[in-house]
Homo-oligomer: A and B are copies of this chain.
Amino acid sequence: MAEQAETLRRTPLSRDRVLRAAVTLADEAGIESLSMRNLAQDLGVVPMALYKHVANKDELLDGMIDMVVGEIDPPAPDTDWKRVTRERILSARKVLLRHPWAAIAIESRNEATPALLGHLNSMVGTLREGGFSTDLAHHVMHAMGSRMLGFSQELFDASRRAGRSGTTEPDPPAAFPAEAAAQFPHLAAIATAASHDDTSVVGQGCDDQFEFEFALDLLLDGIERLHQQGWTSSRPPR
């Protein structure tokens, strides 16, 4: 990273170069290491020079978010709303896993950025082309953003949040301590029952991709059922 700064020192700053460096810094060192001062140092520049390209740190974060959202695949040219939506969501997931700081950064901002609105808009477009009423499409979009537990369980993984330490080897599996197993027997049971892995381990023992697709298909199948029934909010199923 130091050599990179060396190479680029003389090339002029630009908003794009600032944002790109910020994303790299957050990816590699963690979002808590992203300060205007650290970022300037990475770019071989005095801190105040950044303010020529971003108004302040909030705008920097917005720009970073838009850069990440731009990595999501565009909708495939396909008429099957279910397949298109599924692939789009899985693409977004891949992007968010590449940039572990991004999901929380997006949630922490209180206005959606333009790129994010564009992404959501095209997701709704896919549903509309699939024959969804605006009414049902509306509720579906909300459902996609809901978290029943109030937080995303996937995020309980230290190795994800902290910056990658250069190497890509996974963390050593954290054992489920015996005392915790006694206190939380049900959690211990489902941790060990994870059939796709054979260890008595939480977190590391779960196949996150499997779990994600499980939830995704649960939702998509339910949505498909409502869609086929011609569901409207004025005529709810229950």
Binds B, one of A5-13, A18-26, A35-43, A134-142: A134-142
Residue in B93, B114, B148 whose beta carbon sits within 8 Å of that of A219 in the complex: B148
A34 within 8 A of B: no
Within 8 A of B (CB), among A101-121: 102-104, 106-108, 110-112, 114, 117-118, 120-121
A180 within 8 A of B: yes
A80 within 8 A of B: no
Say yes or no: A137 contacts B190, CB within 8 Å: yes
Among A138, A141, A146, the one with the most B-chain Cβ atoms within 10 Å of its Cβ is A146
Say yes or no: A150 contacts B219, CB within 8 Å: no
A48 within 8 A of B: no
Say yes or no: B150 contacts A184, CB within 8 Å: no
For the complex formed, measure the closest distance between the CB of A73 and the CB atoms of chain B, giving whole angstroms. Answer: 14
Say yes or no: A151 contacts B106, CB within 8 Å: yes
Say yes or no: B218 contacts A143, CB within 8 Å: yes
Secondary structure type dominating chain A contacts: helix
A175 within 8 A of B: no
Say yes or no: A186 contacts B125, CB within 8 Å: yes
Please tell me the number of chain A residues within 8 Å of chain B, measured between CB atoms: 81
State how many copies of this chain the complex holds: 2
A216 within 8 A of B: yes
Residue in B103, B142, B180, B189 whose beta carbon sits within 8 Å of that of A153 in the complex: B142
Residues of B within 8 A of A107 (CB): 103-104, 107, 151-152, 155
For the complex formed, measure the closest distance between the CB of A118 and the CB atoms of chain B, giving whole angstroms. Answer: 7
For the complex formed, measure the closest distance between the CB of A83 and the CB atoms of chain B, giving whole angstroms. Answer: 13
A59 within 8 A of B: no
For the complex formed, measure the closest distance between the CB of A47 and the CB atoms of chain B, giving whole angstroms. Answer: 21
Residues of B within 8 A of A155 (CB): 107, 110
Mind listing 29 A-B residue pairs with CB under 8 Å? A93-B150, A102-B150, A103-B147, A103-B150, A104-B104, A107-B151, A110-B161, A111-B156, A111-B158, A117-B184, A120-B184, A121-B184, A138-B191, A138-B193, A138-B194, A141-B190, A143-B215, A144-B147, A144-B153, A145-B147, A145-B148, A146-B215, A147-B152, A148-B216, A148-B219, A195-B232, A210-B233, A218-B222, A222-B222
